């Protein structure tokens, strides 16, 4: 009987609990004290398993080479920057994702962070808890400009919601859906112009060598004074040290972040010291609907692979 280790942080519930056993798979969850972000522990957790329901824990070359029985890394999401694809190719390990199931969740979370920082959270919440009452007039969101960096499935979902809030939307996207752009009255522009014009900048690009530290000291300096940065894509897109400096100087008014360069975010991170930075723990893509759809797709993908199928739209490696 093929064995599957469930490591994704929210994998304790979902349709995979029925789909996989019904198709002959034996499911195992990690003990609560285990830390899959530690490579040594991850290797131990994966020993003897054919597939893993993966979160954002690191699948380095060392990990892949240490678990020769592993055949499938099934990511509960669309990002795979924590996985060494070259090592997986060499070992014949299939890496899969779950595309098209969480864009509405990410878009809603993006808007939630934007509205939260626009209305002064988390500082406003902290003041009430400390019995400090202070009223501050802040810029209205309606009529401001939102710059969307990356107009893919998630970026488009953000755009439609932003238009509904009365925001003007500009976007940087090398390969845009022109029909969508025209339908929603979105102005396409280059990256530097977007930074200079936008009151809010939201990032929706994958992690890659090209996008690493896309937001750095130089690009932050190009952002409109008093603007806000939102990141619900990948932590590697933002140089957090440079971001903290831009916040300290007042060049940026605030930031809303769901993803970080190191996850979980270390407790000594300077980001935790700012009252104008609203944080969440890589949960933007998670709501009840996306959770159900993600784990159903993930489980069916594992079953299809085991039965000799090749769901190409969900496989990110072994293309050659």
Catalytic: 234? Answer: yes
Residues 6 or more apart whose CB falls under 8 angstroms from that of 77 comprise 55, 56, 97, 98, 102, 285, 294
The DSSP element (H or E) to which 89 belongs, if any, is: helix 85-91
Selection from 39, 49, 116 nearest residue 82 by Cα: 39
Residues 99, 314: contact at Cβ < 8 Å? yes
Residues 6 or more apart whose CB falls under 8 angstroms from that of 122 comprise 116, 275, 277, 278, 279
- Of 103, 204, 234, 253, catalytic: 234
Q: How many CA atoms lie within 13 A of 308 on its CB side?
A: 0
Strand order in the sheet with 3-6: 26-29, 3-6, 51-54, 72-75, 94-96
Q: At what angle do helices 288-306 and 103-118 cross, to 10 degrees?
A: 150
Catalytic: 204? Answer: no
- Of 253, 282, 291, 314, catalytic: 282
Catalytic: 213? Answer: no
Selection from 75, 69, 63 nearest residue 9 by Cα: 75
Residues 6 or more apart whose CB falls under 8 angstroms from that of 208 comprise 81
Residue 134 falls in which region: left (phi positive, over 0), alpha (psi -120 to 50) or beta: beta
The residues annotated with a catalytic role in the active site are: 234, 263, 282
């Amino acid at each position: 009987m093929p064995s599957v280790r469930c490591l994704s942080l929210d994998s304790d519930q979902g349709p995979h609990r029925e789909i996989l056993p019904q198709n002959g798979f034996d499911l195992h969850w990690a003990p609560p004290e285990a830390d899959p972000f530690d490579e040594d522990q991850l290797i131990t957790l994966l020993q003897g398993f054919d597939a893993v329901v993966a979160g954002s824990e690191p699948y380095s070359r060392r990990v892949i080479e240490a678990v020769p029985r592993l055949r499938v890394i099934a990511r509960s999401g669309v990002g795979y920057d924590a996985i060494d694809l070259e090592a997986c190719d060499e070992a014949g390990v299939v890496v899969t994702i779950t595309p098209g199931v969480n864009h509405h969740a990410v878009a809603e979370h993006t808007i939630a962070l934007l509205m939260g920082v626009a209305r002064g959270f988390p500082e406003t919440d902290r003041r009430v808890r400390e019995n400090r009452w202070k009223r501050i007039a802040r810029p209205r969101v309606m009529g401001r400009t939102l710059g969307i960096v990356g107009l893919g499935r998630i970026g488009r979902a953000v755009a439609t919601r932003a238009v509904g809030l009365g925001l003007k939307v500009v976007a940087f996207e090398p390969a845009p859906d022109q029909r969508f752009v025209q339908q929603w009255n979105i102005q396409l522009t280059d990256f530097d112009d977007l930074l200079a014009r936008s009151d809010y900048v939201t990032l929706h690009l994958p992690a890659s060598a090209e996008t690493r530290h896309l937001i750095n000291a130089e690009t932050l300096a190009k952002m409109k004074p008093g603007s806000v940065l939102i990141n619900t894509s990948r932590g590697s897109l933002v140089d957090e040290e440079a971001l903290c400096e831009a916040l300290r100087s007042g060049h940026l008014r605030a930031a809303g972040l769901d993803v970080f360069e190191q996850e979980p975010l270390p407790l000594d991170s300077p980001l935790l010291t700012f009252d104008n930075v609203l944080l969440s723990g890589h949960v933007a893509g998670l709501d009840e609907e996306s959770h159900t759809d993600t784990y159903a797709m993930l489980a069916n993908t594992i079953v299809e692979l085991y039965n000799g199928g090749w769901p190409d739209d969900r496989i990110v490696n072994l293309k050659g």
